[in-house]
Chains A and B, each alone.
Chain A
């Protein structure tokens, strides 16, 4: 069973702080990694994509990937109350051919307190 694990939280940080969200995955064949943000009652919104080891920065967001450790993380700098949401880690299913399937973690709820 291929799995993606996230701490469900809630993760509570003060406004302006750095929020650190973590994710581990079991499928060594995975090649594509994504972070989505989902507000309550809404659909997931893509925040970051990362495909190779290292860091990728986009504005206040930094994604980190370590394939050897099967670990993906998302850092949110200068956290704002509007960042309060559930963050979903998604990993492409690996294998000899592309299956189109993303495997999602259960999500980490982030609360940014003013």
Chain B
């Protein structure tokens, strides 16, 4: 069974630009989660999508947004990039809302 996939693996942007990150969940999983792992800060919850709807968002500014498509894949958009947005962005999916979340390999975003 294929795991969660993410693209691109690495992304380099300059301050003020926009970044788009993509995620495909495990087949059969309808919930997709986004987390940010910045150096020294641990994993921070960003967004949760289920059945095409945003269900919850973490304590991040509105320039972090996303969506979930009918095939349950998801996109994370970060507008007006700032230097501190440099981090590993992890996507996860789950079969059940209260069940374990399975992570993809991540996208490493570098903002110069």
| A and B from one complex | yes
A103 within 8 Å of B by Cβ?
yes
- The total of Cβ contacts below 8 Å across the A-B interface reads 55
Q: How far is the CB of A83 from chain B (nearest CB, A)?
A: 19
Q: How far is the CB of A85 from chain B (nearest CB, A)?
A: 14
In the complex the two chains form, is A100's CB within 8 Å of B31's CB? yes
In the complex the two chains form, is B103's CB within 8 Å of A100's CB? no
Q: How far is the CB of A61 from chain B (nearest CB, A)?
A: 14
Q: Which of A31, A36, A46 meets B98, CB within 8 Å?
A: A31
Closest to A48 in B: B100
A49 within 8 Å of B by Cβ?
yes
User: What is the CA–CA distance of A8 and B94 in the complex, to the nearest angstrom?
Assistant: 28
Closest to A45 in B: B103
Contacts of A102 in B (CB 8 A): 33, 35, 43, 45, 101
User: What is the CA–CA distance of A35 and B49 in the complex, to the nearest angstrom?
Assistant: 23
Interfacial residues of chain A within 75-104, with CB under 8 A of chain B in the complex: 88, 90, 92, 98-104
**Size of interface on A: residues with Cβ below 8 Å to B:** 23
Q: Which of A42, A90, A106 meets B105, CB within 8 Å?
A: A42
User: What is the CA–CA distance of A103 and B103 in the complex, to the nearest angstrom?
Assistant: 15
In the complex the two chains form, is B90's CB within 8 Å of A43's CB? yes
In the complex the two chains form, is B58's CB within 8 Å of A49's CB? no
In the complex the two chains form, is A100's CB within 8 Å of B97's CB? yes
Q: Which of A32, A43, A98, A99 meets B103, CB within 8 Å?
A: A43
14 A-B contacts (beta carbon < 8 Å):
A34-B101, A43-B90, A43-B104, A49-B100, A88-B42, A90-B43, A98-B98, A99-B48, A99-B56, A100-B33, A100-B50, A100-B97, A101-B45, A105-B42
B→A interface (CB under 8 Å): 31, 33, 35, 42-43, 45, 48, 50, 55-56, 58, 88, 90, 97-106
Query: Which 8 pairs across A and B sit closest by C-beta, in order of nearness?
Result: A100-B48, A104-B43, A101-B45, A43-B103, A43-B106, A106-B42, A49-B100, A98-B97
